[in-house]
Chains A and B, each alone.
Chain A
């Protein structure tokens, strides 16, 4: 009897523990309603004007050119500035204040802001830009996208301390994008010798010269602390301290946010969106276009796909109902909208009249039968580290089952997904999948670099014909705006006719912040908050 009672007690404890562990958001909602102030010391005092950002991983260095992931780019943004940013509405200038492009599209003249200075008082000059470009060549062991385009060398001329000229061998429309992703480093800190950077601890200790609104005041085991500069050329930031701290994996970020430990968090599920919108007395919500296209790729080298005709590919695309996909995977049109083109609405070349694909199940079934697609088994891969992709895979699987196609889903983490998805055709991995979902982002303004890579099959063999590739190459080499737009309208339609990539969604970067944090929507580029001057913490 005693043993039975003990066993029941232990089973009860285990069951309660499991339920608590699986409780999720409803438990968090109840707990966040209980107390106004956290009992822990992780909450910063709101009067300190400190903006705290979560990082998934503590970078080893704050060197701008070493940053490759969103986390790390976000970590350096408050302290290092780009020359300019491409936004939906054009160029937003930072260290540079002007970019002139000659009529023939070959000469780019860049002017550095006269007031831009490093935090140690030295002016930002073209020497810093040349120094950073030279470091890139050294690090890559060869020419980079700054120094070589279309197989020819770019001539870089220093006109004066603040003016620099880039003369291209041929028109290359994407050079603006190349320059926009450039974060200069201080040449004077290394005696203008880029070979000194890799062996130096300069970017690992506080006191490094910064070009942004903040300086690095502390580097801890699990956080960086940045302090506002009084001499920042664009004005003194309202937020006096920015803290970048590492947060554990899983749902820890949400707990940390609800405890007041971090100031904002991205919202990716409809459930969380509804929850935080319902607590508008505690939180602010923001939504910014992510300038991202999620798409479904058919692999021309797939084990089954390589044997199928264009009609079969068309059958697949006609069977898909993207409204249902968005509904199931994102649950809210605030998080994502169905896409009509392989170009995003934030890009200046976007054609809103591009028809996209519309579901037509009857036609899809007919084509599936006539093309021999019916009864086939396709392998589908997706990146499990990306939100919503698993749900997309599930819906696609169900929708293709309607036309007699069996889809075998394989999830991959980031480190295995990209090598497989972008494997060149001579690699075995290129032949191990038939369908896959991916996305390309930061496509704003005139930036069409990623689209070009796909349409010209340069990124990987996406299946496009020589006609589409040729049109894309021509568009890249066209300086005339009207002609370029006409070409891109044609490319957008023709690419869809060939049925290699299905545009799924355009996503929004939806954020929830603490109530005393405002201005997050003042930044037009996310997630790195291109402009920290717009952020306020009351």
Chain B
């Protein structure tokens, strides 16, 4: 197990280095000149040169990259070019809002997907299965930003039962107020994941229902609900663990758009603004965070998989026969 962890850690480090280099290169080689965002045409040439030198933009790409990497290794993700403040504290300030949204979205996705997927698989080819599957396909197809705007129009503009944007009502710091503001962005962020999880759980449920242990449980007189939730569920969740690990990064990236639509003050809106102003230290920090979450998410998923399925820990074939 330790060997496995060490091997995975080394892979994480190599992947992070590659992510950092390629994302830096993409920002560097993007059309246009980064310095154009920070000098204005009314400056003299001397002023422009000073600003460019201060920002480190007069150096070559490799020099800039290694300067950034050296600082990043020591935990210093640099200073935002647009507001001259350190990047990491700004991320830390905004991260809780994104984590609240992400975490809630993940929990909501599972709470909805598990029962719907199980019943859909159990009632295969019935009207219920067809309805759930259709809704799942729709959920996978709908663009999140469009769905978010649709929810705003219905629940904020037409019905006026939920707020349209922000995280709090000014002057109201109650958890309930935050919860109210979180409902629409959380649903928007969850819709795609719920749809995917439903399809996976359904397929696994159908596969598991043909296993002999299910037949045994039926013969023993166990109820349908008990069979599904006590026996089948554990086995159908295995691929979901992997999916959740992979989706950790997509939740952060998905929040990018959802936070902008709903004015949620997380790292998504911060990164969106940074892209608009070619603020490469912030962009790099965001990309690194997303990449880190992806590889760590996969790593944790692999570890959890080994713990959840003893057959994998023993290195045995699947099926345990």
A residues contacting B by CB (< 8 A) are: 2-3, 6-7, 10, 14, 17, 20-21, 23, 27-28, 31, 35, 38-42, 44, 52, 57-61, 66, 68, 139-145, 148, 198, 218, 220-223, 225, 243, 245-252, 255-256, 258-259, 261, 413-416, 418-420, 422-423, 427, 429, 449, 453, 458-460
Contacts and interface: CB of A to CB of B under 8 A. Distances in A.
Contacts of B275: 415
A427 B90 CA distance: 34
A422 B41 CA distance: 7
Contacts of A61: 83, 85
B167 interface: yes
B170 A148 contact: no
Interface stretch (B13-21, B44-52, B295-303, B307-315): B44-52
B57 interface: no
Given A6-B127, A248-B263, A258 B157 contact: yes
User: What are the 5 tightest A-B residue pairs by CB atom distance, in nearest-first order?
Assistant: A141-B50, A419-B36, A248-B263, A248-B165, A221-B265
Contacts of A144: 47
A57 B273 contact: yes
Given A20-B154, A41-B177, A60-B85, A245 B31 contact: no
Interface stretch (B116-124, B145-153, B242-250): B145-153
Contact of B42 (A17, A39, A145): A145
Contacts, number: 185
B33 interface: yes
Contacts of A251: 149, 152-153
B199 interface: no
B157 A28 contact: yes
A423 to B, nearest CB: 8
B164 A246 contact: no
Contacts of B11: none
Contacts of A7: 134
Nearest to A38: B160
Given A38-B160, A248-B261, A259-B156, 20 more contacts: A6-B127, A10-B135, A20-B150, A27-B153, A41-B163, A42-B163, A57-B269, A60-B83, A139-B84, A143-B47, A144-B47, A221-B167, A225-B170, A246-B265, A247-B164, A248-B165, A248-B264, A252-B165, A415-B32, A416-B32
23 contacts: A6-B134, A10-B138, A20-B154, A21-B150, A35-B160, A41-B169, A60-B80, A61-B85, A66-B84, A142-B44, A221-B168, A221-B265, A222-B168, A223-B170, A248-B262, A252-B262, A252-B263, A259-B156, A261-B164, A415-B275, A415-B277, A415-B278, A419-B37
Q: Which among A2, A31, A429, A459 has the highest number of chain B CB atoms within 10 Å?
A: A31
B161 interface: yes
Interface residues of B, number: 66
A141 B153 contact: no
Given A198-B84, A246-B265, A261-B164, A31 B158 contact: yes
B162 interface: yes
B41 A140 contact: no
B170 A245 contact: yes
B180 interface: yes
Contacts of B153: 20-21, 23, 27, 251, 255
Contacts of A427: 33
Contacts of A255: 152-153, 156-157, 164
A308 to B, nearest CB: 24
B54 interface: yes
Contacts of A453: 41-42
Q: Which among B157, B162, B177 has the highest number of chain A CB atoms within 10 Å?
A: B157
Q: Which among B83, B170, B262, B275 has the highest number of chain A CB atoms within 10 Å?
A: B170
Given A6-B131, A41-B177, A247 B160 contact: no
